[in-house]
C-alpha cells in the first residue's frame, strides 16, 4: 500500500480505523497481526485495538491487504472530521496578499512543538473559494486500564485537528480541540500576520442564517428567576420551532444560550446543527462526507460573518456583543467595561474605514466610559461660549474653579461642591460669561493605557487599524471624534525658546541650595488672591509664581483648587509667537508620577488647557523630577491635541530660584 494512503490515516479518528479493520479482516488474522506489531497476544482483539495509538494502527493496516487503497481513501473522506464535527469561529484580519498568504501558511509547517501539547502542522490544502484547510497534530495523555496488570496506566496519544482559514472571507473555524492548542494555533498564525478574534453569537445572528421553524431544542438562562425557578433551563420538542408564543415569552425573559436546528442539506441528507452562542461554536450531529461538510459548513459560517459585518454599518452595540477581545485584554478590562470599550473599538474601525471624522456611539457615552473605567480617561466639561467664540472648559461661578465630571451618571465636581448636577449650578466660561447647562458636553480623552487597549483590539479586526502615532480620538457625549496627528514631536526644551533660554543657559555650579529650596515651593501663598500686587519675599512666601514673576515676567492669576491656568504668557516656537498656558504645581523631593496626586492633577489641567481652542502651547512648571511616564503622558495629550509642550522641572526651576534670589537682593 502506498505510503501516501497510510499517511491519510493520521487524520482519521481511531474508532473509524478500528471499525474498518474489524469489518474487513477476520478476527484470527487480526489477532495475529496485532501480536506481530505489539509483540503481545490478546483474546479480545477489538478492545485491544482501541488502546493502540494511531501509529500502531497504521502499522497493522499496512499488514492487511484486505484494506485496499480505495478503502483508505474512502475512510479518509468519510471520517476525517469525526462523528460530530464542531468548530469554534473567529473573525480574521489578514493584510497579506494571496502570494504572501500562501507563504505564511506554509511557514506554519515549521511551528515549534510546545512542551505540553507538541502542536505542529502536518498538511495544508486549499479548496473552493480560497479557503485553506490546515491539518495539525497535538499530543494528549490518555488513561486506560492495562489488561495485563489491571492497573491504571497512561500513554501519550497523537490527536489530529484542522482549521478552515478564509482570510479574504474574514473568518477562521478551528475544529474543537483543547483550548491551549487552539490558542497556540492562533498565536502561530498571528506571528505570520494573520490575526483572529473569537466570536460570540447573538441570537439575532443565528436567526439570520437558520429558520426559527427548524428549531428542535434550546437552552436558556433566565434573567430574573423566581426563588423556586432554575436559572438554566433546556427544552426539546420536535415542533418547538412552531411554538411561537412560548419562544417569544422565553426570549423576553431570558438569554438563549444554545439552539439545535434540523437542517436539510443540498444532497438531500439531514443533520442537526447546534449553535453554542456564548462559546461561538457550531456543531453537526452526524458524520458528513468531506465535500458535504465543507460546502454546508462554509456556507453557514459565511452567512454568520456577513451578518456580523453588516452590524458594523448599522448596529455597533450588536457588533460589540458578538466579538471578544478577552485574549487581547485579559484582566485589564472589567466585564462591566468591555461592552462599551468594544463599541468604541468598532466605531473607530468604521471611522477609519470610511474616512469619517465623527461616528455616533449609540448608548455608549463619555460618562458611561468614565463611570466604568475612571482611571483610563481624562475628563472635562466643555461648552462653546458665543461671546468668546471658542470652546472652553466650564467653571463654577461660585468658587471660580473648573468643573469636572464625576464618576457618576450625572454629577460634577468643583471646589465648593461634589457630585452635584449641572442644572443646579451657576456656570461660566474662563472670562466669566454665563453658560447654559444645556450647552455643556462631557468630553473624555484616553489615557496612554486606554490608547494601548484600543490599539491592541483594533489591530485584531483591521489591517489598517487605529495607530497611536497617526490617530487620536476624543469622546464628546455620545460621539466619537477622530483626528489625524501630523505633528511628531511637541515637547520643546526650554533652551530652545528665546523667552526661557536665559534661565536654561545659567551655569549649574553650586545649585544644591537653590534645589533644596525649590522643592519646597508651593503654587500659591497666603496672599494668593492678590498675586498681581504681591509683596511677600520668595524666602518668606515660598511661592513658585513669585519666582516666575521675577524671572519670566509673567502675571499670575488668582489661584483656586482646580485652577485652569495659573498664568498666560507668550513664547516663540519655530519663529511663531504663541499664546501659552502656564500650569504650576508645588515642588516635591520625590519624583512625580502619573499616579501621584500632583501628577494626576497636572494631567487633568493639561487636558483642560488643550481643550481650550485658544491655547496654542502648554508650559508646565513643577520644581520636582518628572518621571518618564509622566512626561510621555503629557506629551501624548499635547500631541493628540496638536499643542506644544514645555516642561520646566527642577533642573530649570532651581536655576530660576537662584536667579530670583539675586533679583530680590538687587531690588532690595
Quick: pLDDT tens for 48-104.
Answer: 998 898 888 989 998 998 988 888 887 777 766 766 888 999 988 777 776 777 777
Whether residue 647 sits in one domain with residue 501: yes
- Residues 57-68 have pLDDT tens digits of 989 998 998 988
> What order do you get walking across the sheet with 427-428 strand by strand?
395-396, 427-428, 434-435
The b/e string for 267-303 (b: 16+ C-beta within 10 A; e otherwise) is eeeebbbbbbbebbbbbbbebbbeebbbbbbbebbbe
Quickly state the pLDDT bin for 562 (edges 50, 70, 90).
Answer: very low
3-state secondary structure of 538: helix
31 with 151, same domain: the answer is no
Output the pLDDT for position 265: 75
Among 267, 285, 320, identify where a domain stops. Answer: 320
Residue 304 inside a domain? The answer is yes
Residue 120: pLDDT over 80: no
Q: Are residues 476 and 384 in the same domain?
A: yes
Is residue 250 included in any domain, yes or no? yes
Q: Is the pLDDT of residue 115 over 60?
A: no
Residue 531 pLDDT level (bands cut at 50, 70, 90): low
- Contact, 45 vs 27, CB < 8 A? yes
Between 624 and 138, the higher pLDDT residue: 624
Closest CA to 12 of 174, 159, 182: 159
- pLDDT score at 209: 86
Asked whether residue 515 falls in the same domain as residue 645, the answer is yes
The pLDDT of residue 564 is above 50: no
Q: pLDDT-derived band of residue 260, with 50, 70 and 90 as boundaries?
A: very high
More confident residue, 21 or 555: 21
Residue 327 lies in a domain: no
Task: Read off the pLDDT band of 264 (50, 70, 90).
Answer: confident
CATH code (residue 533): 3.40.1350
Tell me what the pLDDT averaged over the chain comes to.
Answer: 82
List Cα–Cα distances, 262 to 213, 266, 274, 306, 331, in angstroms. 9, 13, 9, 22, 39
CB atoms closer than 10 angstroms to residue 129: 12
- Any domain includes 325: no
Q: Mapped to the 3 state alphabet, what secondary structure does 336-351 carry?
A: CCHHHHHHHHHHHHHH
pLDDT reported for residue 625 = 92
Grid coordinates representing 107? 511557514
Q: What is the DSSP string of 436-453?
A: -GGGEEEEEEE-HHHHHH
**Structure confidence at residue 561 (pLDDT):** 39
Pairing status of strand 617-621 against strand 576-584: parallel
Express each pLDDT in 295-333 by its tens digit.
888 888 888 888 877 776 666 777 777 777 877 888 888
**Is 424 found in the same domain as 474?**
yes
Beta strands in 115-187 (DSSP E): 120-127, 131-145, 152-166, 171-175
Listed in order, strand segments (DSSP E) in 500-600 are 555-556, 567-573, 576-584
In a domain, 511, yes or no: yes
Task: Check whether residue 121 and residue 47 sit in a common domain.
Answer: no
Per-residue pLDDT, averaged over 247-252, amounts to: 87
Mean pLDDT of 374-382: 85
User: Does the structure show a pLDDT above 60 at 598?
Assistant: yes
Same domain? 503 vs 476: no
Q: What pLDDT score does 346 carry?
A: 86
Confidence of residue 556 (pLDDT cuts 50, 70, 90): confident
Instruction: Of 17-21, 483-487, 604-608, give the range with the top mean pLDDT.
Output: 17-21
Q: Evaluate if residue 527 carries a pLDDT over 70.
A: no
pLDDT of residue 225: 84
Same domain, 208 and 256: yes
Mean pLDDT for 632-656 is 90
Query: What tens digit of pLDDT does each residue of 218-241 get?
Result: 999 888 888 888 889 999 998 888
- Point out the least confidently predicted range of 137-141, 248-252, 372-376, 462-466: 462-466
Mean pLDDT confidence for 327-340: 84
Same domain flag for 353 and 478: yes
Interval 19-31 mean pLDDT: 90
pLDDT of residue 464 exceeding 70? no
Q: Which of 42-46, 307-311, 347-351 has the lowest mean pLDDT?
A: 307-311
Of 442, 462, 484, which one is at a domain's C-terminal end? 484
Q: Of 142, 169, 198, which marks where a domain is finished?
A: 198
Could you tell me where the DSSP H helices lie in 528-579? Answer: 538-541, 544-552
The answer to whether position 38 is within a domain reads yes
On the question of pLDDT at 535 being above 50, the answer is yes
| Residue 510 backbone zone (phi > 0: left; psi -120 to 50: alpha; other: beta) | left
Q: What percent of the chain has pLDDT over 70?
A: 88
Residue 3 binned pLDDT confidence (cut-offs 50, 70, 90) = low
Residues of the chain above pLDDT 90, percent:
14
> Residue 559: which pLDDT band, with cuts at 50, 70 and 90?
very low
Residue 407 domain-assigned (yes or no)? yes
Number of domains in the chain: 5
Q: Which residue has the higher pLDDT, 512 or 221?
A: 221
Three cell numbers, residue 482 = 477622530
d(CA 72, CA 249): 51
194 and 208: one domain?
no
Distance, CA of 428 to CA of 421 (rounded, Å): 15
Beta strands 254-264 and 434-435, pairing class? unpaired
Domain extent at residue 457: 335-484
Q: Is the pLDDT of residue 370 over 70?
A: yes
Domain assignment of residue 328, yes or no:
no
- Is residue 514 domain-shared with residue 658, that is, in the same domain? yes
Together in a domain, 220 and 295: yes
For 511-536, what is the mean pLDDT?
Answer: 73
**pLDDT tens-place string over residues 419-462:** 777 776 788 887 788 888 888 888 888 888 898 999 888 877 77
Amino acid at each position: 500500500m502506498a505510503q501516501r494512503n497510510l499517511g491519510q490515516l493520521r487524520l482519521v479518528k481511531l474508532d473509524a480505523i478500528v471499525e474498518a479493520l474489524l469489518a474487513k479482516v477476520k478476527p484470527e488474522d487480526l489477532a495475529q497481526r496485532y501480536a506481530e506489531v505489539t509483540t503481545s497476544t490478546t483474546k479480545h482483539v477489538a478492545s485491544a485495538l482501541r488502546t493502540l495509538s494511531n501509529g500502531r494502527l497504521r502499522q497493522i493496516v499496512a499488514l492487511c491487504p484486505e484494506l485496499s487503497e480505495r478503502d483508505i481513501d474512502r475512510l479518509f473522506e468519510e471520517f476525517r472530521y469525526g462523528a460530530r464535527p464542531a468548530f469554534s469561529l473567529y473573525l480574521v484580519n489578514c493584510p497579506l496578499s494571496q502570494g504572501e498568504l500562501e507563504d505564511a501558511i506554509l511557514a506554519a509547517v515549521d511551528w515549534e512543538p510546545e512542551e505540553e501539547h507538541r502542536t505542529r502542522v502536518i498538511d495544508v490544502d486549499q479548496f473552493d473559494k480560497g479557503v485553506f484547510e490546515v491539518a495539525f497534530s497535538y499530543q494528549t495523555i490518555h488513561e486506560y486500564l492495562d489488561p495485563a496488570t489491571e492497573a491504571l496506566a497512561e500513554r501519550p496519544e497523537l490527536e489530529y485537528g484542522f482549521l478552515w482559514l478564509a482570510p479574504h472571507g474574514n473568518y477562521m473555524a478551528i475544529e474543537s480541540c483543547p483550548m491551549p492548542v487552539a490558542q497556540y494555533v492562533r498565536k502561530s498564525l498571528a506571528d505570520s500576520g494573520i490575526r483572529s478574534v473569537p466570536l460570540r453569537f447573538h441570537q439575532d445572528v443565528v436567526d439570520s442564517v437558520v429558520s426559527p421553524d427548524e428549531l428542535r431544542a434550546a437552552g436558556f438562562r433566565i434573567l430574573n428567576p423566581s426563588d423556586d425557578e432554575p436559572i438554566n433551563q433546556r427544552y426539546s420538542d420536535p415542533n418547538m420551532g412552531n411554538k411561537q408564543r412560548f419562544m417569544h415569552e422565553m426570549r423576553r425573559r431570558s438569554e438563549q444560550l444554545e439552539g439545535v436546528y434540523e437542517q436539510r442539506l443540498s444532497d438531500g441528507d439531514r443533520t442537526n446543527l447546534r449553535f453554542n452562542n456564548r462559546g461561538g461554536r457550531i456543531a453537526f450531529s452526524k458524520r458528513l462526507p468531506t465535500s458535504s461538510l465543507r460546502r454546508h459548513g462554509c456556507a453557514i459560517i459565511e452567512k454568520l460573518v456577513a451578518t456580523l459585518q453588516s452590524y458594523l454599518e448599522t448596529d455597533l452595540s450588536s457588533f460589540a456583543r458578538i466579538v471578544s477581545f478577552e485574549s487581547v485584554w485579559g484582566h485589564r478590562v472589567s466585564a462591566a467595561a468591555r461592552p462599551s470599550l468594544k463599541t468604541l473599538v468598532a466605531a473607530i474601525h468604521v471611522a477609519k474605514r470610511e474616512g469619517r471624522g465623527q461616528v455616533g456611539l449609540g448608548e455608549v457615552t463619555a460618562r458611561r466610559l468614565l463611570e466604568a473605567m475612571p482611571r483610563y480617561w481624562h475628563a472635562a466639561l466643555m461648552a462653546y461660549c458665543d461671546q468668546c467664540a471658542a470652546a472652553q472648559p466650564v467653571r463654577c461661578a461660585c468658587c471660580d474653579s473648573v468643573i469636572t465630571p464625576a464618576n457618576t451618571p450625572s454629577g460634577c465636581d468643583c471646589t465648593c461642591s461634589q457630585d452635584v448636577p449641572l442644572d443646579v449650578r451657576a456656570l461660566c466660561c474662563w472670562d466669566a460669561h454665563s453658560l447654559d447647562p444645556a450647552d455643556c458636553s462631557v468630553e473624555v480623552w484616553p489615557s496612554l493605557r486606554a490608547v494601548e487597549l484600543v490599539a491592541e483590539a483594533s489591530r485584531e479586526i483591521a489591517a489598517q487599524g487605529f495607530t497611536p502615532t497617526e490617530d487620536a480620538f476624543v469622546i464628546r457625549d455620545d460621539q466619537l471624534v477622530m483626528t489625524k496627528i501630523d505633528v511628531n514631536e511637541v515637547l520643546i526644551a526650554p533652551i530652545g525658546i528665546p523667552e526661557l533660554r536665559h534661565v536654561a543657559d545659567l551655569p549649574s555650579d553650586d545649585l544644591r541650595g537653590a534645589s533644596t529650596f525649590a522643592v519646597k515651593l508651593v503654587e500659591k501663598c497666603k496672599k494668593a488672591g492678590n498675586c498681581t500686587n504681591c509683596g511677600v519675599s520668595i524666602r518668606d512666601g515660598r511661592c513658585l509664581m513669585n519666582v516666575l514673576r521675577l524671572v519670566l515676567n509673567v502675571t499670575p492669576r488668582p489661584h483656586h483648587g482646580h485652577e485652569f491656568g495659573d498664568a498666560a504668557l507668550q513664547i516663540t516656537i519655530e519663529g511663531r509667537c504663541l499664546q501659552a498656558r502656564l500650569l504650576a504645581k508645588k515642588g516635591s523631593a520625590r519624583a512625580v508620577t502619573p499616579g501621584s496626586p500632583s501628577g494626576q492633577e497636572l494631567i487633568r489641567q493639561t487636558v483642560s488647557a488643550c481643550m481650550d481652542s485658544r491655547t496654542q502651547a502648554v508650559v508646565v512648571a513643577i520644581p520636582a523630577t518628572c518621571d518618564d511616564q509622566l512626561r510621555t503622558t503629557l506629551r501624548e495629550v499635547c500631541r493628540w491635541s496638536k499643542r506644544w509642550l514645555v516642561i520646566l522641572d527642577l533642573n530649570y526651576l532651581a536655576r530660576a530660584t537662584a536667579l530670583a534670589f539675586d533679583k530680590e537682593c538687587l531690588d532690595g
